[in-house]
Amino acid sequence: MVQRVVLYDSWDCEPPRVPPRSYLYSLAPIGVGTPWVEGFSNYLTRLVTAHLLSPEDLVAHLSNSYPSLLNLMSKGGILNGYRNWANSQSDRARALVDSISRATGREDIALLTCIPLECIALIPCRRTLAWCPACYEAQRKARSNVYDLLLWSIAIVTVCPLHRCHLQEQCPCCGSKVMPFTTLYRPGHCSTCQRWLGKELEHGIPLVESTDEALWNSKAIFELLRSAKRELSSLSEIFRWNIRNLVQDRTGGNIEQLARECRLSWQTIRELISLEGRIPEVGTLLKFCHHFQVQPHLFLSEGRSRRHEAAPQGKNRVEQVRLSLANAANETPPRMP
């Protein structure tokens, strides 16, 4: 009697593909691609907490594997001085971003800093932490991650664009400055007394007027951070061309008159509209844009006319009103019924 042969499924002996392992936990950043993105210093705080390390220990571990950090450590310590440089456009921030990106295997770490905006403006950062108490309180009430926004670390931002209240820079309990990315720091708490820094807005707290220049500056930076997810280096020439066209359309190329109206030197205006000029400081750029009431992120759009973006000012406004009155005088009046 012939027995039937039973065929079983063959085994796949090829080893499974294992994705590359990272040196550090690949922690996902908060708010990438939005204006609510967390600052790099806050990301580092969450990273050291996840690994139960101090900031100094984290940098010491990384410096053994990445020469760029080791060189900075040998020049006096990468963590010496203020800690908010991690969010800036400095060489130290760039070296740490590069090391953390490779150690975590993430390619979006640079978006937690001001580095993507360096082709548009030079952006100074604060030496210590600033925060919006209402934002902290809203984060806690929503039971979401309490974190520090990149927006708050930028020196020219003094008003929260959402709650229209002034940012705080001193603990209301002990009066100390809050130092981010330190051993005792927890987001939303004072690094000295550990008190909670969040607070709901009260009716007695004066809100910033909608016409205030500080609020306008904060909203401008807010929108620039929204644009940071794009490849801005390829748009820097378009940015300059759009500024140049705006000056030509609105002032006829009269740089001296524009400099007087903006309270800037004519050399600064000339460099701003030059395609080969130096990168402007963000305060200069915002003062220029505020004069025309045009948000700077609009200059990143290719082939768009700026004539409709802002109401005419100064001499151009007088000429337009005079022309409108002349046209109205020449019109045929409507017949009476």
- CATH number for the domain spanning 266: value is 1.10.260.40
Mean model confidence pLDDT for the chain: 82
pLDDT of residue 262: 85
State which of 82, 117, 152 marks the end of a domain.
117
The proportion of the chain whose per-residue pLDDT surpasses 70, expressed as a percent, equals 81
Task: Evaluate whether residue 179 is within a structural domain.
Answer: no
Q: Give the whole-angstrom CA distance, residue 129 versus residue 176.
A: 11
Q: How confident is the model at residue 311 (pLDDT cuts 50, 70, 90)?
A: very low
**pLDDT at 68 (0 to 100):** 64
Helix axes 282-292, 236-251, angle to 10 degrees: 40
Question: For position 123, what pLDDT does the model report?
Answer: 94
* 74 occurs within a structural domain: yes
Digit-coded pLDDT (tens) for 220-263: 999 999 988 776 777 788 888 888 888 888 888 788 888 888 88
Site of tokens 């971003």: 97
- Lowest average pLDDT, out of 50-54, 68-72, 201-205, 253-257, goes to 68-72
Q: Is residue 319 part of a domain?
A: no
Please give the pLDDT value at position 327: 60
Asked which of 117, 134, 154 is the last residue of a domain, the reply is: 117
Q: How many domains does the chain have?
A: 2
Is residue 313 assigned to a domain? Answer: no
139, part of any domain: no
pLDDT, residue 323, reads 61
Query: What does pTM read for this prediction?
Result: 0.80
DSSP codes, 31-97: STTSTTPBPHHHHHHHHHHHTT--HHHHHHHHHTT-HHHHHHHHTT-TTSS-SGGGGSSSHHHHHHH
CB-side exposure of 186: number of CA atoms within 13 Å? 10
Give residue 309's pLDDT: 43
Backbone dihedral angles phi then psi of residue 316, each to the nearest 5 degrees: -65, -35
pLDDT for 41 equals 92
Query: Domain limits at 66?
Result: 40-117
Q: What percent of the chain has pLDDT over 90?
A: 43
Quote the pLDDT of residue 314. 47
Give 3-state DSSP helix, strand, coil % of the chain, rounded to 5. 45, 5, 50
Mean pLDDT along residues 180-187: 86
- β-partners of residue 125 are 154
Q: What was the pLDDT predicted at 315?
A: 47
Band of residue 79 on the pLDDT scale cut at 50, 70, 90: low
Examine residue 46 and state whether it is found in any structural domain, yes or no.
yes
**Looking at the domain assignment, is residue 255 inside a domain?**
yes
**What mean pLDDT is predicted for residues 92-115?**
91
Q: Is residue 295 part of a domain?
A: yes
Distance CA 243, CA 289 (A): 9
